[in-house]
Chains A and B, each alone.
Chain A
Amino acid sequence: MHNKTLTELAAGLRSKQFSSVELTQTFLQRIRQHQQLNAFITVSEETALQQAQAADAALSSSQGGVLTGIPIAQKDIFCTLGSKTSCGSKMLDNFIAPYDATVVANFNHAGAVMLGKLNMDEFAMGSSNETSFYGPVRNPWDTDCVPGGSSGGSAAAVAARLAPAVTGTDTGGSIRQPAALCGITGLKPTYGRVSRYGMIAYASSLDQGGPMTRSAEDAALLMQVMAGFDAKDSTSVEQPVPDYSASLNDSLQGLKIGLPKEFFTAELDSHIAAAIHAAVAEYQKLGAEVVEVSMPNLQLAIPAYYVIASAECSSNLSRYDGVRFGYRCQNPEDLSDLYTRSRGEAFGSEVKRRILMGTYALSAGYYDAYYLKAQQVRRLISDDFKRALADVDVLMGPVTPSTAFRIGEKTGDPIQMYLEDIYTIAINLAGLPAMSIPAGFVDGKPVGLQVIGNYFSEAKLLNIGHRYQQVTDWHQQVPKGFE
């Protein structure tokens, strides 16, 4: 049951092969069985079974949609009414959200069952899931390795079949990088396509929620629920939502693929490069044309990102002050002590590092040299993408420079860790949609292919992913011990 696609599960529920309660119990059982992965922060057994019962009732009277009765799980960055929403931080370990994020409400409305909340890097700051207050998540393909981050719990849960489909968020690669490292499909939509309301902010101008699934076909079903204009999010875009499943099988004859030469440099593991080229060759067989393109400003993406994201986070995280909710230190002496100790005791070191960097970048006398300069670089990078995407339909390249690394390997060197996102960060700066799909293995560890499209081209990306998954079986591989 746990290896079925969402479409198969939906059909099984309708043909009464199994009930939603049975399906939910199966996944709850698998979550318990594979606790050592540490993929979940909260397992909502009781409410999940209630939702499953309600779904069964709806299904028995032929109501509900495709996702009715299907278990999913939410990254613990999405507020869920009445349950803990920690964002991977000690700061919010005691925070029970009093409202549902728009994404969560959309899933509830669709009749989906929420199994629980997924582990993540603290406040989504990290590329390995090691900054979580709840400890690192293990990669099902090699449990000594990281699953990537920040949506590491999400990627591990899907790869290990602890949930058929989940949500993630992506600020600089947080959906695509863990999807690549865990061998699953992850889509970061266009900035503004999915509501950010109720999604705890890291860097507001870059954050975007999206689906993490085993296939592009499943991702299309989740996108259908997640995407759409939300009046509660001023940055969400009022643009019609297409039927993402309808175009999955469209022909790729004549598709123009651009390969940015800056993606294939010495930092890229040669085996990964080979896997990417093999995948591109597969697309040529499907009728695509390939051209080389250049994005001269790409190497500026990481510094620009760490200025902008840090600046925004330094302000976004100011609300965690021990006054109204979240962690408060014991017996504060005065106001300054309350602030200093509450924040000092509850934030982890990576979060503190970024708050300090961001505070510095916004300070009087430094603003022009850092924040304004970074915004200018951001525009240059966006222009690079616009130019490239004027000539080709999509760009392809690697997601990560290497496969999953060992837990603890990069924690002592933040710069090495930041370089993990070298191929993903620029896309967030430009606000474009991009997808990671499984494209092979190196030493038994998954490799991801990144497909970058123009604004609001999610349906095209899913079509491109799906056609590839029709002729390859990388996405169907199951890590040993999780079959």
Chain B
Amino acid sequence: MNSQWEAVIGLEIHTQLATKSKIFSGAATAYGAEPNTQACAVDLGLPGVLPVLNKDAVRKAVTFGLAIDAEIAPQSVFARKNYFYPDLPKGYQISQFELPIVGNGHLDIEVDGETKRIGITRAHLEEDAGKSLHEDFHGLTGIDLNRAGTPLLEIVSEPDMRSAKEAVAYMRKLHELVRYLEICDGNMQEGSFRCDANVSVRPKGQKEFGTRAEIKNINSFKFVEKAINHEIERQIDLIEGGGRVVQETRLYDANKDETRSMRSKEEANDYRYFPDPDLLPVLIEQSLKDEIRATLPELPEAKKQRFLEQYALDLESATTLTSSRELADFYESVASLSGGAAKLAANWLTGDVLGALNKASLEISDSPVSAERLAGLLKRIADNTISGKTAKQVFDKLWNGSASADEIIEQDGLVQITDTGAIEAIVDKVIAANPVPVEQYRAGKDKALMALVGQVMKETQGKASPGEVNKMLIEKLKV
């Protein structure tokens, strides 16, 4: 970014709450059903139907509020946001306007090793609309109302972010949090976690905000970064070229990597918000807050601190391992089942296991190697039954089969030779058979030792401990 400009970014993130039924009806929320098969009379907005609030959606919103240390409104009110659109069945969306359920809170992010606190202005409950499908209908539009009435929590940040990188860090942190809390499945492809970004620029040092543009519906971390960076550049170019930014809504086109205008402020709807007379105010008692607070899981930050202390991990490992609740749980199982090989478990998980999962595009929950089977392997490394190198072969077999580490080690005869006498005999044999590297080593060429170690390992079929062999050779070759 041009250094005399500063970007100001705020995000509105729509998280789909993982309730079984919709926010105001009993219809299922499952994704991917045949069009219009998960829309009941209430979702269709038929004459005479009435909304009834889903308690679980309220609990999930409160859970979120408590986790970001926010004020939970003792009384919040549903309002109607009125506008016409074919996939909005009632001609209004039930949302919260003046009195949202979650008030001021915050979330800490880390960027380039620095911690920054991002304010969260509010989070409110609302219903999702349906989907308009413009293809395959011969110039007409198809409407699928399965999604209509799905509960959303719209989380609105303060304009506290100053770069696309910060915005992404905030979005990732929020994504991690809602999944920790198990209030949202976080599936971005299915639209469970969507982002609108408000972006403006101002000369560095200026207090007032510039005019902002809102970029709608950006559904991946990568696109958020690209879209924001693109928008910042567009605005700077515009101002430097003598123009001025207009307040408008823009759409990000991932294919062209550009944003384009959707509607200006003048064209914006007057939503005519007013309290929904079909719904009573939502009253949250202290007792409900206490009850939910008592069931809150350990949050990512606290878990990371605990990992650092309890398992003596380095910061990077602790950060990686607490990036999702599933991974952290997996790690703790392995660490415990392996009999306390905490560091070894961290190395294996962040290294080989995550590497293999990434390569196969799998989540930790789908790992072919369970925590138990991995722990079985780590135990054998820890007690020196196999070498680290052999362990990698065993891991491959664990990944591709169903046998336990012990079965594989047994079947393939991979037990490390710990009988010093046996190794010594082989070492002596190798020294006798390889006079050239022996001479070179003695003449000060340290590298030659490696060739000898390799020979010993070859003779033992990798079952000797390379460290042990190394030590023994050095001892024997002392002049």
Whether A319 and B91, one on each chain, are in contact in the complex, defined by CB atoms closer than 8 angstroms, is yes
**Which DSSP category, helix, strand, loop or mixed, fits chain B's interface?**
loop
A359 at the interface (CB under 8 A from B): yes
Whether A315 and B274, one on each chain, are in contact in the complex, defined by CB atoms closer than 8 angstroms, is yes
Closest B residue, CB atoms, query A317 = B91
A367 at the interface (CB under 8 A from B): yes
Q: Shortest distance in angstroms between B90's beta carbon and chain A's nearest beta carbon?
A: 5
CA distance A93 to B129 in the complex (A): 27
Known A234-B52, A324-B45; judge A318-B143 contact (CB<8 A).
no
CA distance A448 to B279 in the complex (A): 34
Total A residues in contact with B, Cβ cutoff 8 Å: 44
Contact flags A172-210 to B (C-beta < 8 A → 1, else 0): 000000000000000000000000111111011100000
Interface residues of B in 416-458 (CB under 8 A from A): none
Closest B residue, CB atoms, query A339 = B84
Whether A79 and B47, one on each chain, are in contact in the complex, defined by CB atoms closer than 8 angstroms, is yes
CA distance A87 to B41 in the complex (A): 18
Closest A residue, CB atoms, query B41 = A99
Known A312-B277, A315-B80; judge A200-B47 contact (CB<8 A).
yes
Whether A234 and B51, one on each chain, are in contact in the complex, defined by CB atoms closer than 8 angstroms, is yes
B114 at the interface (CB under 8 A from A): no
CA distance A196 to B49 in the complex (A): 8
Whether B91 and A318, one on each chain, are in contact in the complex, defined by CB atoms closer than 8 angstroms, is yes
Q: Shortest distance in angstroms between A7's beta carbon and chain B's nearest beta carbon?
A: 31
B33 at the interface (CB under 8 A from A): no
Whether B143 and A359, one on each chain, are in contact in the complex, defined by CB atoms closer than 8 angstroms, is no
Interface residues of A in 206-246 (CB under 8 A from B): 231-235
A364 contacts which chain B residues (CB < 8 A)?
Answer: 270, 272
CA distance A14 to B452 in the complex (A): 110
Partner of B41 from A78, A92, A98 at Cβ < 8 Å: A98
B86 at the interface (CB under 8 A from A): yes
B50 at the interface (CB under 8 A from A): yes
Partner of B48 from A198, A203, A363, A367 at Cβ < 8 Å: A198
Q: Shortest distance in angstroms between B274's beta carbon and chain A's nearest beta carbon?
A: 6
Q: Shortest distance in angstroms between A94's beta carbon and chain B's nearest beta carbon?
A: 12
Whether A359 and B47, one on each chain, are in contact in the complex, defined by CB atoms closer than 8 angstroms, is no
Partner of B90 from A97, A197, A318 at Cβ < 8 Å: A318
CA distance A285 to B48 in the complex (A): 45
B46 contacts which chain A residues (CB < 8 A)?
Answer: 79, 97-99, 325
CA distance A460 to B279 in the complex (A): 29
Whether A318 and B82, one on each chain, are in contact in the complex, defined by CB atoms closer than 8 angstroms, is yes
Interface residues on B, range: 20 to 34
B53 at the interface (CB under 8 A from A): yes
Q: Shortest distance in angstroms between B35's beta carbon and chain A's nearest beta carbon?
A: 13
Closest B residue, CB atoms, query A85 = B47
Partner of A311 from B53, B89, B274, B280 at Cβ < 8 Å: B274
A318 contacts which chain B residues (CB < 8 A)?
Answer: 82, 84, 90-92
Closest B residue, CB atoms, query A204 = B277
A95 at the interface (CB under 8 A from B): yes
CA distance A201 to B45 in the complex (A): 12
A323 at the interface (CB under 8 A from B): yes
Whether A363 and B272, one on each chain, are in contact in the complex, defined by CB atoms closer than 8 angstroms, is yes
Q: Shortest distance in angstroms between A233's beta carbon and chain B's nearest beta carbon?
A: 5
18 A-B interface contacts by CB (under 8 A)? A85-B48, A97-B46, A99-B41, A197-B49, A201-B47, A201-B48, A205-B277, A232-B52, A234-B51, A234-B53, A235-B279, A314-B82, A317-B91, A318-B82, A319-B90, A324-B89, A335-B86, A359-B272
List residues of chain B with CB under 8 Å of any chain A CB: 41, 44-53, 80, 82, 84, 86, 89-92, 143, 270, 272-274, 277-280
List residues of chain A with CB under 8 Å of any chain B CB: 78-79, 85, 87, 92, 95, 97-99, 101, 196-201, 203-205, 231-235, 311-312, 314-315, 317-319, 321, 323-326, 335, 339, 359, 362-364, 367, 371
Instruction: Given A99-B46, A315-B80, A363-B272, output 14 extra A-B contacts at Cβ < 8 Å.
Output: A97-B48, A98-B41, A198-B49, A204-B278, A233-B52, A235-B280, A315-B272, A318-B84, A318-B92, A319-B45, A319-B89, A321-B91, A325-B47, A335-B86
